[in-house]
């Protein structure tokens, strides 16, 4: 793995454990010589992970739309800051330049990004690992909801299994490096629709 995309909040959250987790993930990435691709901001959890990777001599590629440069305060202390025209272009560039995807705690944007990349995996558009770093039980309710979706027949078990969940950054990266994509032949059972 050369680079991993990390989705996370432009807010620091209400508990210092979220910034600490970002810094721990940064250390684990640099220790394995894995670069960071992220949303390009200098604030919140986003800024914390980028700044921590840079402090430790790692590679950071930030990708931010022009419209958010002023709002999110683009981080110009990176290995490379790419300014793009739209959110769609940002997400596509992040996906193209990454070998895996991790969601740290964040809000609607973080959830939208990890679910979009999971949908792309479900549809076979990529075979890269995806995970939640479940800091301070942040994603427990989301895990319960996804299990409920499986039980109610809206999410196949094999698609649910495309999303790894870990509490420790080093363990997460070990699983990523050993990742073998599951074989999913189809995403829709046409027989059940007849």
CATH number of the domain that residue 55 is part of: 3.40.50.450
The range of the structural domain enclosing residue 31 comes to: 3-193
Return the higher-pLDDT residue of 55 and 67.
55
Determine the average pLDDT of the residues in 53-81.
Answer: 91
- Give me the pLDDT at residue 73, please: 81
- Give me the pLDDT at residue 115, please: 98
Q: Which residues pair with 84 in a beta bridge?
A: 65
H, E, C per residue of 88-142 = HHHHHHHHHCCCCEEECCCCHHHHHHHHHHHHHHHCCCCCCCEEEECHHHCCHHH
Number of separate domains in the chain = 1
Provide the whole-model pTM. Answer: 0.93
123-160 pLDDT, tens digit each:
999 999 999 999 999 999 999 999 999 999 999 999 99
Q: Hey, CA dihedral for 106, 175, 89, 97, is it positive or negative?
A: positive
Do 11 and 44 meet the contact criterion of CB atoms below 8 Å apart?
yes
Token reading at 14: 């209400």
Give the pLDDT band (50/70/90) at residue 69.
Answer: confident
Do 94 and 64 meet the contact criterion of CB atoms below 8 Å apart?
no
Average pLDDT, the chain: 93
- Give me the pLDDT at residue 181, please: 81
């Amino acid at each position: 793995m050369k680079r991993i995309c990390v989705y996370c909040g432009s807010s620091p959250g209400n508990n210092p454990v979220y910034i600490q987790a970002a810094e721990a993930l940064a250390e684990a990435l640099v220790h394995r010589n894995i670069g960071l691709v992220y949303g390009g901001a200098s604030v919140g959890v986003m800024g914390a992970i980028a700044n921590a990777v840079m402090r430790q001599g790692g590679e950071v590629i930030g990708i931010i739309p022009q419209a958010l440069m002023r709002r999110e305060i683009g981080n110009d202390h990176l290995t490379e800051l790419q300014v793009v025209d739209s959110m769609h272009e940002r997400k596509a560039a992040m996906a193209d330049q990454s070998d895996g995807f991790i969601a740290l705690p964040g809000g609607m944007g973080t959830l939208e990004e990890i679910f979009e990349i999971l949908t792309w995996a479900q549809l076979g558009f990529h075979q890269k690992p995806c995970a939640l770093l479940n800091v301070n039980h942040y994603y427990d309710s989301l895990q319960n909801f996804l299990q409920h979706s499986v039980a109610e027949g809206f999410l196949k078990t094999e698609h649910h299994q495309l999303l790894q969940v870990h509490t420790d950054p080093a363990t997460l990266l070990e699983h990523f490096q050993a990742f073998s994509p599951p074989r999913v032949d189809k995403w829709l059972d046409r027989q059940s629709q007849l």
